[in-house]
Amino acid sequence: MNADGAHLIERACERLILDSATHNDHRDWSALSALYAPGAHLVRPSGQVIEGREAIDASYRNGPADRRTRHVCTNIKVTIDSETTATATTIVLLYSWTEPTTAQPGELPVVGAPALGEFIDTFALSDEGWRIAGRTAVLLAKPDTN
């Protein structure tokens, strides 16, 4: 594989990571689940394993309706395993809050300290293009709630 091909693979995988964060934060569950391969798996920080694109979609849709998030993704390191597979690690700062139901105009919700986590991803090239074949989301540190 030449340098241009490697760069295209790295960029495609980085884009999947960033698009997944954006779709999650905007609660666009259809777009989020479409980034996963049909037989993909997702391991949540709790250790819950979710198998398959449809189950991943349902898992997000069934989450708290008033929860809002912003994922700040950094230190993305993609490793190309072959012309059709790759892996990556990403450091994630996760800000989350509950959407207020009685907010006044201009009133912002209170956001605590972010949780520190990591995505460990595997990617595969398919007929749909590059997709997330597996993701393990790990919580490395949580905010002090005292």
Q: What is the pLDDT of residues 27-36, one digit of tens each?
A: 999 999 999 9
Single-letter residue type at 19: D
Per-residue confidence (pLDDT) for residue 105, from 0 to 100: 80
- Average pLDDT over the chain reads 94
Q: What does the DSSP 8-state code read for residue 11? A: H
Task: Give residue-wise pLDDT tens across range 66-92.
Answer: 999 999 999 999 999 999 999 999 999
Higher pLDDT, 60 or 98: 60
Per-residue confidence (pLDDT) for residue 99, from 0 to 100: 82
Say whether pLDDT at 94 is over 70. Answer: yes
Q: How far apart are CA 88 and CA 93, in angstroms?
A: 16
For 31, phi then psi, to 5°, come to -65, -40
Per-residue confidence (pLDDT) for residue 103, from 0 to 100: 67
Domains annotated on the chain, with CATH: 3-141 (3.10.450.50)
Q: How far apart are CA 97 and CA 40, in angstroms?
A: 28
**Residue 106 is encoded by which pair of tokens?**
């201009």
